[in-house]
Structure 1
Amino acid sequence: MDIVSKKPQAKYEPGELQKTRENIGDIAREEAEVMMKRLGGEIGVEKPEIIDDEVLKKVRSARKFVPGKNRKKKDEQTEQAERRNSPNRRGGSVFSAGERTSAVISGLPGKKYRLPHLSPRQKQLFDKLMISREYHIRNAPGFFAMLFSFGRGGPERVADSFIKNDLTAHIRHIDLFIESVQALILAVPPSYKNKINTDNDFIYRALRVIYNWDTLPVKAELSLLKKKSSWILIEDTVPFIKELYRPLIQLYFLGELEMTRIIKKTYGWTVKTQIREKENMRCLNAARQAAAEWLYIFGQVIKGAYPLLMRMCVNEFEPYPDFYTKRISDIMNFLEITKYDIVLPKRNDEKERLHKTVQIKTEGTEAAKAEESPKETEEAKKESMSEEKRGLILQSLGVLDKLFPDAGWLHLADRPDMYPYFQPLYSFPDGFNLLAPTNPLQITIVLLRIIEDFFQGCRNIPLSPPDTEDNPLERDNLQKIFSDWTLYREYLFDRLMAPALKEYVNHAYTQSDFRNSRYAKRELSNWLWQIKFYFHPHLVFEITSLEYPRIDNSYIPLPERIRALVQVFSDMIRQADASEASMPTDLSDIYTFDVENTVSYRLNLLLGGSKSKERTNLNLMKYTLCALRVLDWWINDKSSYAYVSEQKIPYRTSGEGDTQPLLSVPVRSDQRDVFLQNIRLLHEAQKSDAASTGNSVQNTPPASQV
């Protein structure tokens, strides 16, 4: 019986076998036979390519009517027209994403972007970054994929979850940011709107970029990616990444701080329209929303998709955020923008580096020399102010140490554990006990509670802040602050944040591998984001999840309020001390607390007892200012001990390097004895000094403190 060779079945799509051959690379015939024997399978060929008759007619018609001698000229004209109409060209697009697709189908040439070639070492670095849990742009390759690749690397496929979840979330947050800023711009006076349209100052340029930011093209590109099959390669995302990053790179060098200042300044302009209270609150909420969304965009969108942008721009790995400064010229070339499209903050000594990065040149060495002298003077002035501020902080910490001796106020650099000392005094709810001493929030909660006690006496003083041009309480008032103060601790921490911390710690305590799970990383990242937004704006931590928590914007941010309180209390005390002879009788009256608390008890003894004449409203304000100044420094100053290291494990552990939670720690019981002993020593020292100098005993903070 003759054996007739059977024709292989057409089971592969056109071009699929060629793509597989490219992925496998050149191999010997013997090696191919070994692979075939081990893997098995059936032999097949590609299906015939379906030819569109309409497209064929157009191609033939074009060939028939274009003369050969003019072909080169026609090709150049066509290429120029395509460049003008290219959707990737800066300044607009003739075609939308959907129209571009239909244009290619109808016979117009569609050219696929070719990624930069990578060496094996660089490819390994890029793959490791994209597959990492931090980014999860690509799925880890399976066994058979690695076998087929033979170490050469397979197709660079993007994970479906990254397209459908992460990129969708990024666009949603960008939309919220744009809508919030646009709402503020619409509420500013006409004079500012004209400046936004025409002025070239970086603030107006930034607002102009945001106001004209159109997300329809990037949404269309994302929609196309979602409609594709599950096989999406990195080169398929090129149009999306271009649309996403053009406006982001234009605003990138403003950073978190400068953009927040621009938002606050824009909100301040809305005041000049004298809008009603309801509209005023709408603008305030829009400003808060915009600031929160920019934190997300800067921390997660720009970082979260940076491996894709880097893969499309360069052929050498650069870590984040160095990539954005070292390879900015490559980024601009890829996005087809120039240095004039990038919005840079106003130059000063700290920001000069950014201008050099995008090749903004200085105006010669002579001008630089002429500026040396003023710069040196300004630096000396800043250093002098810094020394003065440092002295005030040390004095204020000394006052807290007198009120709460041996708590650790003079050794904050060593991160003392405040829980054993203050828990018996204030009975904090569950959750506070879990805060690690290295977590700056522990000291913040303690200071909030101490100031809460001070405010119980301050609310009985008829305070009237002096009228100044730069009034920090223009949209706030002291009585409202006194009423809202407990909410920062009782609502934001006790109700919103503590339950999530307790749940996280319980899981980590019972499950040894819980911290490495995706759920745990998301919860920890969300919790640290809440600390950054509600309490510590300069907190640094590793972003292990691209999700962003819901933020309650119904309260004026604590960092903003505490800075205003320090200024107002300083102005009132300075004004009272300057006119001591004509000081209002209200400030010389004895202070009163409706109910005695921890601070009032200790302050009475510190000022000489219940019959002492030093127990005045003015002295109460001075002691209150000391606590306010420490809290302001702790949360608003980047150089404070709160920000000396990156926050990694926010909960209490048994020691450095350990990740196992510590649920209980013994508290102290000697606080009262230590305080009374220090009071006796302090009064004896003051009486001795008074006897030797002939002066009366005073227990008020030194005048230089205010």
Structure 2
Amino acid sequence: MADEKKYLEPGTLENTRKNIGTINKEEAAQMIKVLGGEILEEKPVTSPLQFTSTASRSAKPPKPRSPRPEAVRTPAEAAMLSTMSVNRASKSAPVSNKKTSGMPNISPQDWLAVDKVMMSPEYKIKTDYGIFNFIRLLQKDGLLRIDRNFAKNTLDRHISHMEAFVTLIRTIINLSPVSYQARIRSDDNSRFRLLNKAEKWDVYALRSLYNDINLYHVQIPDLMPFIKAIYSMLVQILFLGERRVTMLLKEIYEDLSLYPDVKKPLVTATMKDTHREWLYLYSQIVKGLYPLLYCMCGGPFQNFETFFSNRAAAILKFTEKSRFDILLPEAEATIPPAYEQAEQKKEDVPPAPEEKETQEKEQKEKVRKKLVKTGIKLLDTLFPDAGFTKLETHPDMYPYFQPLFEFPDGFNLLSPENPLQVLVVLLRIMEDLFQGCRNIRFVFDSDARQRDDQDSILTVLNEWNAYREVLFDKTYCHTLRNFVTEQYTKRDFCHTQYGRAMQNKLFWFIKYHFLPLYTFDKLVLERPEHNNTYRPLHSRTNFICDFFTELAHNVDITAKTENASITGIQNPWDHYSFDIPNTVSKRLDVLLMANRTGKGMTATNINLIKYTLCICAVLDWWINDGDSPAYQCDQFKFYRVSLEDGGPLFTVTLRDDQQKLFLENFKKLTAEQNKKKQT
């Protein structure tokens, strides 16, 4: 009987490698030469389910497995394999208990979610190896490793900004008159408590904790003391929200401006720097480190917008703070600072929070309706007889605006009853206005980042054209042109399965990207995938209205002699500037008499913002109000139809009297104004 082949027990080779340690090729060759012998193969690990009888258990050891076919794969297969490996290993391979002692238990699904966030370009807390992310599973505690650049550079930069913020807060207190400093120490108002708390932040201890970290081999548990220290400071004010802290800083500036002996230039510069540092703290530290804070608090994984509100108790427990240690929005004063002392003498009972919220909502609705009416009137002034005053009748905008804006093919196919016709015209008008808004120097965009969608005015200005050029011109119109072409050659195409599918796609596209309240009859069961790389338009218009409303309000209550930066704009009273004159800017020049300069100048940045606000209010109403004419259309009348044969119509006669109507209307308005002055 031939000698049976011998096998090592499973795991023998791995244990031997660990015992030998790391050696190079030369050392390995020397060991083989000295020890001699041969390296046996290991027995395969067999499952109890493989043997169902005594005969099976007494059988010879199975032959060693041949190399798996998966060993050689294409890049695409390797990417798929790595993703599957990460998912399987994350669920089955727990992280070292020794390393994670003190950290809460996190489910595999939640761990995968936060791991993905930490590797994203927005956070860069962990290194993203792409298709090779499964390598981390082969490393000891690989899932806990922190990116070296994040630990060495990002965290150090965060500490520097924390130090700068505390220094500026202390500078504000030192620049304050003695009487105001006394109020800071004793008054319970939110703005004074803000100064009190931030002044006492121990940034030196934070720096010391950072210096104790081994920056070349950092894991999540190693950062627990540091994360606890930094959030124990920030948690005292972060529940106020970014915008509320900004307004408190503004109130402090207004208070100090009332004192004649205060050094206003120095106070102004300090407050501006403080505001800038606070924006960094909130957007880069509070948000940038929140995945690590989640790892310390546990629970179901949530995004940044909901994490701090839904996990407040766990955050306070981790930072060892109570509700008495933090500032909450409910504690903010409802009385303007300038009238605070006088109003404190009154005994009026403040409205309940629910009643106050209802009143504020109703007031906001009144303001919006007024803006919409003003916007429609302004649009009719800029473009007389275009049809803006009778939108409920669905006037045809194409003959009027095609000569002015030269829309690409596709816009000509829209029926007047297609709500996108008015929407695209308003988008295009806003594009022209934003060309001038780009030259306005915004001091801050706290209103934008404070919102749930984490928007900003600069991002809006940069991405606005994409809603028309990408979503409408390139995507919607492409499908529309194909449908109309087929319908032109085959009159019953709209009733075929393919035709119904194309119509269904167009309807869903309108709902996904332009009109969120749009309803329609589902022609097929298929629902297209919603993959939008841009923020929803309905939230963008709402943001612009809120942001520009506050800027306009701030400028209106601020005298020209004061520092303009406190309004949110550095140059509100400067002459507006368009790099290249466009259709809308030329008409604005006429209405606002752009040639006029000096004291009576009206072609200013703030007036440009107000005009933009009014027109955006119309667009916002068209999109977000379920009672607007946009939602009173026949869904099947989405393309232009000939009245003669009922087939698709590709063009109509264009108008050429737009400029004449505008000048005549301007002369009429000027005459009416002069008549009023005389009376």
The TM-score, its normalising length taken from structure 2, stands at 0.48
